[in-house]
Amino acid sequence: MSPHAAGGGDPAAAHHHPSHENALGELFLPDRTDTLNLNLVKAPPACLDYVIIHELCHIKVRHHGPDFWRMVSRYRPDYLSERRQLKHYT
Ligand SMILES: [Zn+2]
């Protein structure tokens, strides 16, 4: 089975965030309670847009593989710098 086939295992477990993203919360995932780190209200709006897009992309792609980041970059071409800035707020 190719590593891109997302079959098998617990989808929640497959959604593993790197440590610097742990505090971002999970929005809109049907199997999760909506949570959002309130520190994020201090972050620049562009960073918040990135957080929303990140979580929305997880509706389609539940992991952080290349497919996921390709989708994020389609909506947030500067997501790498937005992600970097976010570290100061989480
Ligand atoms: Zn994620």
| C-alpha 1 to ligand 1 mean position (Å) | 23
Predicted TM-score (pTM) above 0.95: no
What value does the mean pLDDT take over residues 45-69? 95
User: Mind listing the domains of the chain with CATH numbers?
Assistant: 23-86 (3.30.2010.10)
DSSP per-residue codes, 49-87: HHHHHHHHHHHH--S-SHHHHHHHHHH-TTHHHHHHHHT
| C-alpha 13 to ligand 1 mean position (Å) | 12
Confidence band for 2, pLDDT divided at 50, 70 and 90: very low
pLDDT tens per residue across span 9-52:
454 444 554 544 444 554 444 444 556 677 888 899 999 999 99
Q: How many CA atoms lie within 13 A of 65 on its CB side?
A: 11
